[in-house]
């Protein structure tokens, strides 16, 4: 991973805040009966799938738009196809995990305090956001990546979901507040790593991240500004040498449906190069 630009980061899903739409809302919108969340599919879909009826597509889009209006965020009409693709493929596809090598693990009374992992060189689709509100950045960034995953790429194929979805967050020097700068990142599925399809959205950049050592601690529940700061401070206290890691840039990794009652997340510290 790089010292500048797009870094390993987590798929942050915020609980609904006043006037905002969050990934909780977005995911709930696609959690219709018979479908899984956006985090439950993976792989490159090459065979043709019967399209949904127009009425079904309209219903899904209207559902997204209705919830979004309540948070003063507009879901544009061109999200209809990505919503359709994600919902349709979530019913049949498995999600792929980002591969890593476990180097060590620290436990206490059967609880994993943290792990030290090595992630290999890999290509990620990254989108940088800096909206007025943190929740807006996450929402808009994810929708951009969703379009890329759902056929708006040079291959014209549905690429499939991978986990975790990462969000890069930055803090002040005291690690007490998050800044407005957010990067949402999606791991390109392994079969496409050599030649990733190019995004049609110029805001999305395909970056190759070098091998990186990561210290990571699991946590469950919501991922909002308060919980992220808490997890950063907690992991810093647990590490023997936290100064070996970057001090103002961290990663939140989301593994499960953000609408689930017991979400599985991780906070990541990146070891300095």
Q: Is residue 47 part of a domain?
A: no
pLDDT in tens, 182-195: 899 999 999 999 99
The range of the structural domain enclosing residue 217 comes to 96-270
Helical H segments across the chain, by residue range: 23-30, 54-69, 80-90, 134-149, 225-238
Task: Give the per-residue pLDDT at 121.
Answer: 97
Q: What is the rounded average pLDDT of the residues 31-36? A: 41
Give residue 38's pLDDT band: very low, low, confident or very high (50, 70, 90).
low
Q: Is residue 265 part of a domain?
A: yes
Q: Is residue 160 part of a domain?
A: yes
Q: Is residue 26 part of a domain?
A: no
Residue with the larger pLDDT of the pair 32 and 73: 73
pLDDT winner (highest mean) among 32-46, 77-91, 145-159? 145-159
Give residue 199's pLDDT band: very low, low, confident or very high (50, 70, 90).
very high
CB 267 within 8 A of CB 221: no
Distance CA 260, CA 248 (A): 29
Q: Is residue 25 part of a domain?
A: no
Give residue 70's pLDDT band: very low, low, confident or very high (50, 70, 90).
low
Q: Is residue 167 part of a domain?
A: yes
Task: Give the per-residue pLDDT at 71.
Answer: 53
Total length of the chain: 273
* Average predicted confidence (pLDDT) for the chain: 79
Global confidence as pTM:
0.78
Tell me if residue 115 falls in helix, strand or coil: strand
CB 182 within 8 A of CB 141: yes
Question: At residue 198, does pLDDT exceed 50?
Answer: yes
Question: At residue 9, does pLDDT exceed 60?
Answer: no
List the CATH number of the domain containing 230. 3.20.80.10
Task: Give the per-residue pLDDT at 137.
Answer: 79
Q: Is residue 54 part of a domain?
A: no
**Residue 76 DSSP class:** -
Q: Is residue 67 part of a domain?
A: no
Domain count, the chain: 1
């Amino acid at each position: 991973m790089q010292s500048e630009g797009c870094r390993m980061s987590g798929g942050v899903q915020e609980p609904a805040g006043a006037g905002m739409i969050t990934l909780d809302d977005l995911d709930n919108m696609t959690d219709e009966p018979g479908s899984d969340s956006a985090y439950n599919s993976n792989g490159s879909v090459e065979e043709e799938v019967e399209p949904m009826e127009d009425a079904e597509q309209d219903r899904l889009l209207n559902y997204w738009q209705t919830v979004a209006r309540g948070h003063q965020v507009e879901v544009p009409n061109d999200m209809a196809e990505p919503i359709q693709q994600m919902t349709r493929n979530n019913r049949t596809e498995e999600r792929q995990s980002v591969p890593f090598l476990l180097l060590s693990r620290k436990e206490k009374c059967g609880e994993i305090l943290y792990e030290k992992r090595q992630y290999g060189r890999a290509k990620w689709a990254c989108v940088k956001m800096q909206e007025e509100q943190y929740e807006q950045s996450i929402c808009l960034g994810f929708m951009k990546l969703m379009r890329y995953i759902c056929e708006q790429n040079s291959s014209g194929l549905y690429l499939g979901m991978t986990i975790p979805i990462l969000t890069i967050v930055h803090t002040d020097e005291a690690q007490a507040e998050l800044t407005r700068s957010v990067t949402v990142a999606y791991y390109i599925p392994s079969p496409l790593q050599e030649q990733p399809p190019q995004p049609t959205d110029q805001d999305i950049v395909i970056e190759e991240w070098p091998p990186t050592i990561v210290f990571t601690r699991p946590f469950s529940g919501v991922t909002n500004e308060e919980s992220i700061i808490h997890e950063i401070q907690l992991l810093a206290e647990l590490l023997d040498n936290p100064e070996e890691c970057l001090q103002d840039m961290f990663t939140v990794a989301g593994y499960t449906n953000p609408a689930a009652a017991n979400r599985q997340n991780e906070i990541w510290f990146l070891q300095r190069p």
